[in-house]
Amino acid sequence: MSILILKNGLLFDGHNEELIDGGSIVIENGRIREVSEGDVSVNGADTIDLDGRFVMPGLIDAHFHAYSITFKMSVLDSMPMPQKVAHAARLLKGTLHRGFTTVRDPAGGEIGLHLAISQGLMEGPRFYYGGKALSQTGGHGDMRPANQRDDLCGCAANFTLTEVVDGVDAVRKFCRNELRKGADHIKVFISGGVASPTDPVWMPQYTNEEIEAAVYEAGTRRKYVVAHCHTDDGARRCIKTGVRSIDHCTMITEDTAKLIKEAEGRAYAVPTLAVIEQLVQHGEELGMFEESLEKAREVHRQAYASVEYLYRQGAKMGMGTDLFEERFHPMQSREFEFRADIVKPVDLLRSATSVNAEIMQKDGEIGCIKAGAFADLIAIETNPLDDIYCMSQPDEQFSMIMKGGEFVRNRL
């Protein structure tokens, strides 16, 4: 079996602020075999000199949508599936070449994309998917405008990212089927959202009993629930009902941030500032309705304070982006700079590596440099602990991107 040694690197293992200077990484069969503080010799191994470059685990985006082709859901939902997959292939390749070697798709991602990537038919990051996200009638995932009459069959439209499901028994059945199809997690919408046409952001969605049914069903497979949640009340309901990943967290108070900290190991926050900046800066050119633009401005007014509360209270924060439309996907790398005035660089790197891995129940496999983990690595020209803004320039700064021991980019 071929063995590769990367030597003479400045290694950040995904956890410790103390770096390994002059460290070496031994890679075999796509995984890390050994991490050493100095040079390593293995018979027959190829060796690459990192020349002191900063090396860290591949990045993880915990809120990414492969079918995030457009914010106009009626356009997305009317596309033929082959066209959607072609778009998804471009988005997945782009995110991998920005150093994100793993993504979690909590709405729309499905087994076909996972298999295409894992079988080498499509270039992309490790792909963890939740199937369609669950929405109540009139909730954030119900994209029917108010003037659309009910379908004659009494069911909702065929949405790409979501499914309208009402009632405890229906939630149970839908979750069981998504889990049967290999879903890594289940996602529910428990507050209003920006892009949806009929629900205010502050609106509570799903009863606690419905949420608990989803949590129970996910737990039977040792998996977990992700919640779309903007509101303070929603975040508290997540903690109460057993939701593990509280995504967006844009309008929470410091008291609730403290509760998330106290629930560490059971509940985590995953802010997504990139999509909020996208909507506020470019919402009009994206063709968003004025109602959605106003909701985006309302969320933006509170999102940064929420991140500050979470950080001040010591709550574990993952990193997600939630972007739509290919031309805006490069903003994915700017999530670091959007948080930079609030969060220390080392904690930003942890958010995008070890903390995301912990949230996704994949710690020890991704988001770290340690024996047994996947050899998902990036080498950076600038030390991001000195200048975090280098993370926003992956084309210029990332001289190596590796996924599973295979080079995606190699300028060493």
Kindly give the parts of the chain with pLDDT less than 70.
1, 149-157
Contact 126, 376 (CB under 8 A): yes
Q: What is the pTM of this model?
A: 0.96
The whole-number pLDDT of residue 145 equals 78
Report the C-alpha gap between 77 and 313 in whole angstroms: 41
The rounded distance, in Å, linking the Cα atoms of 389 and 220 is 42
pLDDT value at position 394? 98
pLDDT at 153: 42
Residue 257 has a pLDDT of: 98
* Phi, psi for 270 (deg, rounded to 5): -130, 85
Average pLDDT, the chain: 95
User: What's the pLDDT at 152?
Assistant: 38
Q: What is the pLDDT of residue 287?
A: 84
What dihedral do alpha carbons 81, 87, 93, 95 form, nearest 10°? Answer: -110
53: which residues sit within 8 A by CB, 6+ positions away? 9, 10, 379, 380, 381, 399, 400, 412
With CA atoms as reference, report the closest residue to 171 among 221, 220, 209, 129. 209
